[in-house]
Structure formats: C-alpha cells, structure tokens
Amino acid sequence: MKTIDIKFFELCDEIDQWKEEVKFWKDKYEKLEKDYKNHLDNSLKSAQKDVANILTFALHATDDKNGNLVISKNSREIIKKQLNS
C-alpha cells in the first residue's frame, strides 16, 4: 500500500471512532437532560401541591377573640380532603 492509502485509511478509522464517541456523549447528554426535566417537573408538581395545601389551610383558619387560631369542624374536613388528594 502506498503511504497516502495508509494515511487515508487511518483518517477514516479515526473519523469512525470520533463518530462513535460523539454518539455516546450525545445519547448520554439527552438521557441526562430527560432525567433532569422529569426531576424538575416532579419538583414543580410537588411545590404546586404544597402551595395549594398552605392556601387551603390559610383560607380556613381564623382567629378567635383571644387571638387563638381556630379551624371549624367543616373546615377541618375540607383541609383533610385537600391533603389526601
């Protein structure tokens, strides 16, 4: 074989190796990106539920004449349903 043919073969082989490595890292990046997006979605859903629970509690809690926090029986049932959903 001529030197040019050998160099050409070596370059083609190196290009194939780089293609494989690029595919590996691209796949890894896409998987990590998908996992991170799922994690963010789950965190957002959890935060939304927490805010809804806090608002439900705040809307149903009142103060009595002595400044004590009071929650009526009906309000407790509503809060209980909200927390269990």
User: Sign of dihedral through CA atoms 9, 12, 18, 20?
Assistant: negative
Query: What's residue 65's pLDDT?
Result: 86
Res. 1: pLDDT tops 70: no
Mean pLDDT, the chain, as a whole number? 90
Helix (H) or strand (E) run with residue 61 in it: strand 61-63
72 close to 60: Cβ distance less than 8 angstroms: yes
Residues paired with residue 61 on neighbouring β-strands, in sequence order = 71
For 39-70, what is each residue's pLDDT tens digit? 999 999 999 999 988 898 888 888 888 888 88
pLDDT band at 32 (very low <50, low <70, confident <90, very high): very high
Q: Which residues are CB-contacts of 64 (< 8 A; sequence separation ≥ 6)?
A: 70
